[in-house]
Amino acid sequence: MRDLSLLPDLELALIQTTLAWHDPAANRAHFQALLQQTKGADLIVLPEMFTTGFTMDSVALAEPENGPTSQWLREQAQALHAVITGSLIIQAADGSYRNRLLWARPDGSLAHYDKRHLFRMAGEHKHYRAGDQQVLVEVKGWQVRPLICYDLRFPVWSCDAQATDLLLYTANWPAARRNHWNQLLPARAIENLCYVAAVNRIGEDGKGHPYSGDSQVLDFQGELLLEAGAEAGVFRASLNAAQLAAYRQRFPAYRDADAFTLAD
């Protein structure tokens, strides 16, 4: 059985920034410069659709599964000896378009998570296919569950109070609903007895929608460890596994959780 208390601290780097609309090459160049400030991090997190902004133009902007951004992420992860993650538009092998989070490891391998809950108020469900698989990935022994933006509103999809050490949300969450973002993130931390890290963008997108940022890291009691506000930059936080293990032992609410199964 895994002894969580023996794991090393996990060093996070969250990149909160504006995005160039529909310009993957410009965004890759922009992030490459910012990545120089993340040295020493174990896990580097970029926003949702970090190469394009949150767009419904999936056909024109999709990359193949082993396209330029996938290769770029692999290269950056290897150069920085860190995991790098964020979502982009991918045309899957079956021809469908996905809002896909890529998890690029230093050894050159990739894992991925396809966004489950598509934001129907923007028509995302008409332009992308929803994922149907939860994903649990590992870095330095820490178990991380990556999720994307609108997934935050659906606690059952996030629920896993025993196996998940860090819930990770990458987003383009608009300023009009920033209060929802700031209320839901601590709720996910408290109910799952785990750390939560969330990265949002700032600035305006090509449709004129403003984003307020509010990237943050919270502990297992929903207390803020890091709050980026509306500033652009690279923000660092360190997570302590022994503190998480001690809290779960002291307050094992997960033992009284309701059993359930997910239906498609």
207 assigned to active site = no
Q: Note whether 228 and 213 are within 8 A (CB).
A: yes
SS3 content of the chain, % helix, strand, coil (to 5): 30, 30, 40
Which region, left, alpha or beta, applies to residue 22 given φ > 0 means left and ψ of -120 to 50 means alpha?
left
Q: Note whether 247 and 260 are within 8 A (CB).
A: no
Q: Of the residues 115, 124, 159, 194, which is catalytic?
A: 115
227 assigned to active site = no
Nearest to 187 by CA among 221, 210, 160, 162: 221
Q: Of the residues 11, 63, 124, 149, which is catalytic?
A: 149
What spatial distance separates the first Cα and last Cα of the chain, rounded to whole Å? 31
Q: How many helices and strands (H and E) does the chain possess?
A: 7, 15
Instruction: Name the DSSP class of 229.
Output: T
63 assigned to active site = no
Q: Of the residues 48, 63, 159, 194, which is catalytic?
A: 48
Residue 5: is it exposed, middle or buried by C-beta count within 10 angstroms (0-12/13-18/19+)?
Answer: middle
Nearest to 118 by CA among 158, 83, 147: 147
Task: Point out the residues that are catalytic.
Answer: 48, 115, 149
